[in-house]
Amino acid sequence: MISKNEKKVITDMNVREHFHETVLNATVNQCIDTSEHTIVYIVNLLTTFTHAHELYDKTTDGLQLKPLAQMYGEAVSLPSDNDRNRVLKQLGDISLFIAGLFSNSLTKRLVGVDYYIAMGGNAYGYLSDVTRGTEHKQVHGEIFEELSNKFKDFVDVLGEVSEESHLSSHKDLLSLYDYWMQTDSTRAEQQLKNHGIFPIQNPTNHRKH
C-alpha cells in the first residue's frame, strides 16, 4: 500500500515533469536562449507555488498575498544578509509567477504587470550581484543574472505555460492589448497579429536586445 507521503512525492514528481516539459517547449517556441540551470530553477518555482501556503502568507483573515512593496521594505530593513537575500528571492519568485501566469488579472488593477516585472527584475539583479564567489554561489549568481536580464522573456514563457496548463488565457483581446502596451511583449504582439491586430510600436518604449 502506498503511504500518504509517497502519494505526495509521486504527485509532485508528475507536476515537476509537466512543468519541465512545458517550460522547455515554451523557450524553444519563443526562441529564448537560456541555460538548463535557469529552466530547472523556474520549474522548481512553479512546482513550489502549486502549494498555496508557499505563495500566500497566513494571517488572521486567512491566506493573503503580501504586497511587493511591503516585501521590499522588509528586505531592506533586515540586518542579516542571508535573511535579506531570502526575502528578495521570494519577491523575485512571486513577481515572476504572478506576472507570468496571471498577467491578464493584473491589467485592470492599480498595480500592473509592468510593476511586477520591474520589482522582480530588480530583486534578481541584486541577488546576481551578491551571490558570487564560490562555485555554488557562482551558479546561482548566473541564474539570477539571467532571470533579471530576461525577466520579460520569462514572463512570456510562463504565459505560454499557463495557457498550456489551462491556468489562464488571454481570451479578452483588450486585456491582451493592454498587456502588450505595458510590457512591449514580443509574444503578446504576435498573438495580436494572429487575431488580425497589428499594434503600433510606441517610440518611447524600445525593446532591449
pLDDT digits (tens, 9 = 90+) for 119-173: 999 999 999 999 876 666 788 999 999 999 999 999 999 999 988 876 655 456 6
Residue 72 pLDDT class (50, 70, 90 cuts): very high
pLDDT (0 to 100) of residue 209: 38
pLDDT digits (tens, 9 = 90+) for 86-128: 999 999 999 999 999 887 666 566 678 899 999 999 999 999 9
| Amino acid code (one letter) for 15 | V
Within 34-141, strands assigned E span: 57-59, 62-64
Q: Which residues, including other chains, have CB under 8 Å from residue 69's CB and lie 6 or more apart? A: none
Dist. CA 14–CA 43, nearest whole Å: 12
pLDDT at 52 over 80: no
Q: Which residues, including other chains, have CB under 8 Å from residue 45's CB and lie 6 or more apart? A: 93, 96, 97
SS3 content of the chain, % helix, strand, coil (to 5): 70, 5, 30
